[in-house]
Amino acid sequence: MFPSPITNFWLTPSVTSRLLHDDGTFSVTVDAALDEDERLTVLTTTDGNTRVLLTPAVAEVLGLQFGQPVDEAGFRQRLEKSGIALHGADNLFYFTDEARKALLGEPDAPSIRPLTEADARAFAQFEAAASEQDLDDSSVELDHWAVYGAFEDGQLVCAASMYPWDDAPLADLGVLTLPPYRGKGHARRLVRAISRHALAREHEPQYRCQLDNHASVAAAGSAGLTRFGTWDIISPDSAV
């Protein structure tokens, strides 16, 4: 259903990992090679399976050992007792194999084009017209790996950008439409255009948004993306 670069990245164990527990729906794997900011992550796919990935140090704090039975409820109780907080899950959206084929056969809309440093003034005006919250949520930047814009009457009204994610063949994307121009399909067309750019460079588009961002969830569906699951990460405030 999903292209192999996506499933391989999320579901294939690394050579440095070791499985502690797996009951078919909930698994715990330790990996000493994890980056510090990803020393504990929780992936729950849409088929209902939850995969915990953590460093040996975090496993020790939680009292998790090889062959020791634990279910998801018990794991989360251990988190609470240990004072380890999670940041808050994001939805993960990707194009399925079928949606990918339809995407590649579609031309870009005339109002859409790549943005460069020559568009710095237009981009600055775009940022000035957006709220700080919208800019923070979308993480759209002119100096990212790929940047596209949608124009209306010569004004930049919607922007999307991407950057390679976690040294994987994935390109994490953000998109933002200025409030007066929402509901006109700009974000949908822009996400699809920048996604074609990524696929042409052998990167799978990745669309992330928080669970309660209903507008962003709707935008992902409108653009033809399908939810793969949710992904949570240890809070940067956790001392462990």
Average model confidence (pLDDT) across the chain = 95
Q: Which of 92-101, 153-162, 230-239 has the lowest mean pLDDT?
A: 230-239
Helical ranges in the chain per DSSP H: 4-11, 56-62, 72-82, 97-104, 120-128, 132-138, 186-200, 214-222
Helix (H) or strand (E) holding 70: none
User: CA nearest 174: which of 117, 202, 213?
Assistant: 213
Q: Which residues are CB-contacts of 216 (< 8 A; sequence separation ≥ 6)? A: 137, 209, 210
Q: Check whether 170 has a pLDDT greater than 90.
A: yes
Q: What is the CA radius of gyration of the chain?
A: 20
CATH code of 96-224, in short, is 3.40.630.30
pLDDT band at residue 238 using 50, 70 and 90 as cut-offs:
confident
Whether the full predicted model's pTM is greater than 0.75, yes or no, is yes
pLDDT band at residue 37 using 50, 70 and 90 as cut-offs:
very high
Average pLDDT value for residue range 65-72? 87
Q: Check whether 92 has a pLDDT greater than 80.
A: yes
Per-residue confidence (pLDDT) for residue 66, from 0 to 100: 85
Domain with CATH 3.40.630.30 in the chain: 96-224
Q: Check whether 153 has a pLDDT greater than 90.
A: yes
Per-residue confidence (pLDDT) for residue 157, from 0 to 100: 98
